[in-house]
Amino acid sequence: MTSPKFRLLSAPRLSRRHLLKSATAGAGVMMLPMGLPGRAAAQDMDKVTHQLGWVKSIQFGGHFAGIEQGYFAEEGIEAEFLAGGPNGIGSDVAVASGQATTSDTDVQGVIRANIRDVPVMAFGAIMQKAPGAVMSLAENPIKGLEDFPGKTIALPDGVRPQMSGLLEAAGIDPASVTYVPVGTDPGILAAGQVDGYYGWATNQGVMLQTRGVDIEVAYMNDLGVPGYAGVLIATKEQVETDPDLLIRWLRAEIRGWQWHLDHPKEMAQLMVEKYGQRGLDLQAQTAESLMMSDFVPVGDAAENGLLWIDPGVFEEGIASIVAAGEVEEGAITVDDVMTQDLIREAHASLS
């Protein structure tokens, strides 16, 4: 395991504001009343703005559970979540430019940001298994790399180098696969216009299934792409100079995601009625919410706690990008792209 770039003390460093809040709460005074905090209380809160990687929907339910249940308020944080989308600003750009304090990406995303000299660092991961997958019709299934030759796959440009690297490693000519642009609606797969469609099984996969389409799902993780999804990032300066804020934010996030996992149907209802974008379908949101137990509390999180990240996953991610020829070996190290310190401290202070 690679040593982190820096070490925190055994207990999280608390800001003066947070210490005053805790001291007042211990005296029996509620500084952060639930529901409608007063203006003075709101002014005492630390603001954290998070740029979502997609539109507001159940895939981000744990964030909004943290607001609904008052977990962020208890940590002295006013949390704001900005919607993303197909034309939204990139997560690394949002953080590096100061538009957001934190954002979410994937393992390859944070590595590629550093290759471009965008100074962001991963400090947690929501989904321990990435739901990104190549989906196909059950009557013409794509189950493994050996099924790709001769197929037409709707695939994002950013994923093509990974796929080509996987195929080459398996002794398959990447030129034997035809790629076409991918959109957000998987209807092109249902209509038979493509043999495979890349998307999230928890999103586009649910769309297809709720339309009565029987699909085969080949997860990118299972095909050989290492990584988490919903990798939390902040600037390296934020991580190094004010870890307390991110530790408190992580504590609220951990509790929020646990609440989501414990109340999946209620969380889906909240997203449809209160927190999500307009027009969300309750049936689809509920189905996706129930699937979160297959992605969030598994893998490293099952052993170490929710939102855990491990350096080994990032080592594999760097190796895959080197193998794809995107960067020279040694140009990027694990210490450049992630730290385990903050999530470790968050769990230690919750126990």
Are 164 and 307 within one domain? no
Which residue among 223, 254, 282 closes a domain?
Answer: 223
Secondary element (H or E) of residue 179: strand 178-180
Are 263 and 312 within one domain? yes
Are 23 and 113 within one domain? yes
Q: What is the pLDDT along the chain (351 residues), one digit of tens a residue?
A: 333 333 333 333 334 334 333 333 333 333 333 333 433 345 689 999 999 999 999 999 999 999 999 999 999 999 999 999 877 778 999 999 999 999 999 998 999 999 999 999 999 999 999 999 999 999 999 999 999 999 999 998 878 888 888 899 899 999 999 999 988 889 999 999 999 999 999 989 999 998 999 999 999 999 988 789 999 999 999 999 999 999 999 999 999 999 999 999 999 999 999 999 999 999 999 999 999 999 999 999 999 999 999 999 999 999 988 887 888 999 999 999 999 999 999 999 998
Query: Domain range holding 182?
Result: 132-223
Are 122 and 181 within one domain? no
Q: Cα separation of 118 and 48, whole Å?
A: 20
Q: Cα separation of 142 and 145, whole Å?
A: 8
Expressed in percent and rounded to 5, the helix, strand and coil fractions of the chain are 45, 15, 40
Which residue among 223, 241, 262 closes a domain?
Answer: 223
What is the model's pTM?
0.82
Q: Euclidean distance between the first and final Cα of the chain, in Å?
A: 24
Write out the two tokens for 228. 């988490």
Are 117 and 254 within one domain? yes
* Amino acid, single-letter form, for residue 252: A
Are 236 and 318 within one domain? yes
Could you tell me the CA-to-CA distances from 72 to 126, 127, 251, 297 in Å, in that order? 17, 20, 8, 21
Helices 243-262 and 61-68: crossing angle in degrees, nearest 10, is: 100
Query: Is 318 exposed, middle or buried (CB count within 10 Å of its CB: 0-12, 13-18, 19+)?
Result: buried
The predicted pLDDT at position 320 comes to 85
* Amino acid, single-letter form, for residue 108: Q
The predicted pLDDT at position 42 comes to 52
The predicted pLDDT at position 24 comes to 36
* Amino acid, single-letter form, for residue 179: Y
Q: Is residue 74 included in any domain, yes or no?
A: yes
Nearest to 4 by CA among 349, 344, 351, 350: 344
Contact 163, 239 (CB under 8 A): no
* Amino acid, single-letter form, for residue 317: G
**Cα-based angle 191, 196, 198 (whole degrees, multiple of 5):** 110
Secondary element (H or E) of residue 40: helix 39-43
Could you tell me the CA-to-CA distances from 329 to 115, 284, 318, 320, 333 in Å, in that order? 12, 43, 9, 10, 9
The predicted pLDDT at position 294 comes to 94
Which residue among 223, 251, 266 closes a domain?
Answer: 223
The domain total for the chain is 2
Domain with residue 155: its CATH number is: 3.40.190.10
* Amino acid, single-letter form, for residue 55: V
Q: Cα separation of 122 and 245, whole Å?
A: 15
Write out the two tokens for 92. 């690394």
Write out the two tokens for 163. 């796929």
- What does residue 81 show for φ and ψ, rounded to 5 degrees? -120, 115
Which value, in Å, is the radius of gyration of the alpha carbons in the chain?
Answer: 21
Beta bridge partners of 105: 231
The predicted pLDDT at position 183 comes to 81
